[in-house]
Amino acid sequence: MVVRDIQQFAEIRPRARAYFCYLFTRNMPSRLPNPSLDVIEVGLDKIVNEVDNLDALYVLDNSGMQVTHNLTNKIEYKGGMGVNRSNKSYFYRAVRQKRCVLTDPYPSSLTNNLTVTAAYPIYDDKSELKYVACMDISLKNVLEVAQPSSFQGYFSDFVKFTYSAFSVALLLVAFLLFYNGIASIAEHGFRIGLLNIESMFKSTILLTLSLAIFDLVKTIFEEEVLERIKKDEAGGMHKTMVRFLGSIIIALAIEALMLVFKFAITDPVHILSAVYLIFGVTVLLVGLAIYVKLVSHKVDDDSSN
C-alpha cells in the first residue's frame, strides 16, 4: 500500500539516510585535492558490487549535468549521460546544504516506481563544488534495507496491542459515563415541574468527562495504533491535551458552582470549601493558558525553521 509505505519511510528515514551516506563516505571522500571522475567511479563501482538492490548510481557536475552513464547491475537502466538534472531536488539540496541528503519518495523516470535519491557533494581542497554523486533506490528496497530487527518488530506489535487494550478500556469508561449521564437526564430531567438542578449538573459533568475521555482515546488510537498522526507534529496531541484539560476544568467548574448553590441553601458554614475549589479551577485555567501559549510559540518556531 503506497500510503503505508510512505508512512514507514517517514519513520525509518534517518536510518536510511545514515546508511546511504555511510556507503558514500566509506568509498570516497567528500573533499579531494583534485577530484576526478575516474576516482569517483571506482568508489561507485564498489558500492554497486556491495549493494544489490540499488537502481543506479551516477555523477553530476557542479551545474547539474550528468557526466557519467548510470552504474547499475541492470542492463535496462544503463545510459543517462548528458541529462540535465539541475532542476532535481536532490541536486540543489545537496548543493545548498553541503552534505549528503536523501529525498522524499518520487516517481522515477527510470523505473516508473516510487524512488528516493541520496546525493553526496564532492569538493576540492579549496571547498569548491566539483561533482555530486547520486544513488537511486526504490522505496520498496529502502524499506527492506532499513527494516527494523525482528525484536523491534515484535516490540512494536506489543506496544500497539497494549495501546489498543487501554483504548478499549478507556472507551468502555467513556460509554459508561455517557450512559449514566443520559440515564440521569431521563430520570430527572424530563419530568415537567420536577426539574432537579443538582441532577442536571451531575449529568453535565458525566457527559463532559465522557467526551474528554473519548477524545483522548481517539487521539491515542490514531497516533499509536493507526499511526495517522506523526509524532513530531505539534498539533495532534497538544490539541487533544488542551481539549481534555479544558473538559476537566469545565467539569470541576460545574461541580464548584453546584456546591456553591448547595452550601448556600443548606449549609453556609461549608461554603468556603466551594470557594477553595473555585480557586483551584482558576489555577488550572491559568496553567492551561500558559501551556497553550508555550505550545503556540514552539509551533511557530518549528514552522519558521
The whole-number pLDDT of residue 231 equals 47
- Among 140, 127, 156, 152, which residue's Cα sits nearest to residue 55? 140
Blockwise average pLDDT, block size 10, the chain, 305 residues = 73 86 87 84 86 86 91 80 90 91 87 88 89 90 70 72 88 89 71 59 77 81 68 55 75 75 72 80 85 69 48
What b/e sequence results for 167-197 when a residue is b if at least 16 CB atoms lie within 10 Å of its CB, and e otherwise?
Answer: beebbeebeebbeebeebbeebeeeeeeeee
Provide the pLDDT for residue 119.
94
Q: Which three cell numbers stand for residue 271?
A: 461554603
Q: What is the pLDDT of residue 292?
A: 80
pLDDT value of residue 305: 46
Supply the pLDDT for residue 152.
60
Of 5, 165, 112, 136, the residue nearest 60 (C-alpha): 136
- Considering the domain delimited by 2-145, tell me its CATH architecture: 2-Layer Sandwich (3.30)
Q: How many Å apart are CA 156 and CA 252, to the nearest integer?
A: 37
What pLDDT is attached to residue 304?
46
Q: How many CA atoms lie within 13 A of 276 on its CB side?
A: 4
Contacts of 190 (CB under 8 A, 6+ apart): none
Instruction: Spell out the domain ranges in the chain.
Output: 2-145, 150-304
| Beta-bridge partners for 134 | 58, 119
- Supply 130's cell numbers: 566539483
